[in-house]
Amino acid sequence: FFDHSSVLLRIAMGTSNWYFFVMTGGLMVCGTFNSLIAKLIYGLKSEGVHHLVHNFEKPWFQTTNMFLGMLLCLPLFYAKTVMMARMHGRDEENKPLLPGSPTSPLSDDSKSQSIHAVIAATAVADLAATGLMMTGLVFTTPSVYQMLRGAEVVFVAALSILFLKSHLDQHMRMGIVITVVGITLVGVASCVGDSGTAQGSYSLGMQVLGIVLILLAQLVAAVQQVAEEFLLQDVRMDALELAGYEGLWGGLLCVAVFLPLFYLLPGGDQGRLEDSYDSLLMLYNSRMIVLAEVLNCLSVLSYNYFGLTVTQDFTAMHRVIIEASRSLLVWISDLAIFYIFTNGKFGESWTWSSYLQLAGFVVLLIGTIVYNYTTLYVEIHHEKLQEQFGQYPETGLPQSSRHSQTSRSSAHSKASSSRSYGAQGRLPVQ
């Protein structure tokens, strides 16, 4: 038995078979590459100030580079808008979705200021969450870092219910519980065993600090995810547009406020909390770091496109659940880097605590499948379900919908309305 409203919502998301798998696959692959390249950069060495050669452990420079990658979404958004206008034979004055045009959420002057305020708030939340996660990543391994990010699902679920009036069916609630169990196993594995990281070892206290910082970041990120779902589904912003403006606001804050502030505050980076001059000098002296930063920037661009598209066409809960499950790719890639590609210089080795991590991953994967059970079933049996639900007048789905093409905008409307739509009954799926 499926929740009536859940099945209808998944059908309304569109008739393109395997769309869910393409979007989530892109999110997992790009996200995995992003996690690995971020950790790899921390292990690269170069000559900085005072001619000292050391690791490029610059979490806030990484954060700034992340926002630069997001900012690159804006040119893509405008290029997409121009192409859409030309395809529909529209002239320059009638481009859709551009700020100032009738179809853009930013065209209404009375709402534009408040929308920009929400976008700026999401950028601040993204900045804080990313900074905390990048700092925590210094003291943990990529697989632990990635799997602990699954804690975000709990926070997003609570905030979605409280503020977006979302409805969670029995599969979703069960999936959340299973995910929490998997997160607990991963945290225990990090604390009781050797991390196996090749970039350097840290004390138990520093590993615990890294875990705490990553978990705190998930709470902040959950606020961002819920706000993004509101902007994408209720305000109807384009995913590329939202990512670009978040990058603009976040980049300005980093360059104008945080990097100068951390340069002045005392710390362990050449006597400063983070020495930006040392960062630039290390970039100048290492082409490898420059190449890695460029790849990181491009991975951020693609990762945010797939991530926000999943939030736009599904929900924020789907995104965070899927991201928790991509730890398998991160872990396998990290092991391959250590044993195959770098001969133990980079990556992560297999230790006795890895068995506990493996158990945690299996539990997380089960939680992901359980949470997305309805979505997966509908994607695979889409036409069959459309025909079956068309037999029930109370669903509001016409019998001819089997051959119709449901628009994405209608899916957004159904997604928004479904938040307050409770379990009004269940229909058998044979």
pLDDT digits (tens, 9 = 90+) for 44-56: 999 999 889 999 9
At 396 the pLDDT is 43
420 domain-assigned: no
Contact partners, residue 199, CB within 8 Å, separation at least 6: 39, 42, 43, 55, 346
Question: Residue 111: which region, alpha, beta or left (left: phi > 0; alpha: psi -120 to 50)?
Answer: alpha
Is residue 338 over pLDDT 80? yes
Is residue 157 over pLDDT 80? yes
Q: Return mean pLDDT, the chain.
A: 75
98 domain-assigned: no
pLDDT category at 324 given cuts 50, 70, 90 is low
pLDDT category at 108 given cuts 50, 70, 90 is low
pLDDT category at 255 given cuts 50, 70, 90 is very high
Is residue 394 over pLDDT 60? no
* pTM, two decimal places: 0.70
∠ Cα 87 89 93 (to 5°):
110
Lowest mean pLDDT of 28-32, 170-174, 209-213, 424-428, name the range: 424-428
At 261 the pLDDT is 93
56 domain-assigned: yes
pLDDT > 90 in the chain, percent: 18
**Dihedral pair phi/psi, residue 45, rounded to 5°:** -115, 150
pLDDT digits over 56-73, tens only? 989 889 889 999 999 999
Query: Could you tell me if 41 and 62 are in contact, meaning their C-beta atoms sit under 8 angstroms apart?
Result: yes
**Dihedral pair phi/psi, residue 426, rounded to 5°:** -125, 145
> What Cα–Cα distance (Å) separates residue 280 from each residue in 74, 137, 252, 378?
26, 21, 18, 50
Place of tokens 């594995």: 189
Structural domain total, the chain: 1
At 414 the pLDDT is 40
332 domain-assigned: yes
140 domain-assigned: yes
Instruction: Find the domain containing 261 and state its range.
Output: 4-85+112-384
pLDDT digits over 179-205, tens only? 778 877 776 776 666 545 544 567 778
CA separation for the pair 364, 351 (Å, rounded): 20
Choose from 26-35, 241-250, 369-378, 392-401 the range with maximum mean pLDDT.
241-250
Closest CA to 184 of 224, 144, 217: 144
416 domain-assigned: no
Closest CA to 220 of 363, 326, 123: 123
Q: Using alpha carbons only, how large is the chain's radius of gyration in Å?
A: 23
Helix (H, G, I), strand (E, B) or coil at 30: helix
96 domain-assigned: no
51 domain-assigned: yes
> What Cα–Cα distance (Å) separates residue 411 from each residue in 11, 304, 329?
9, 21, 31
At 70 the pLDDT is 93
Lowest mean pLDDT of 148-152, 157-161, 238-242, name the range: 148-152
CA separation for the pair 98, 96 (Å, rounded): 6
Closest CA to 125 of 274, 245, 227, 256: 227
Place of tokens 């909390």: 273
> What Cα–Cα distance (Å) separates residue 14 from each residue in 28, 383, 405?
21, 11, 7
At 229 the pLDDT is 86
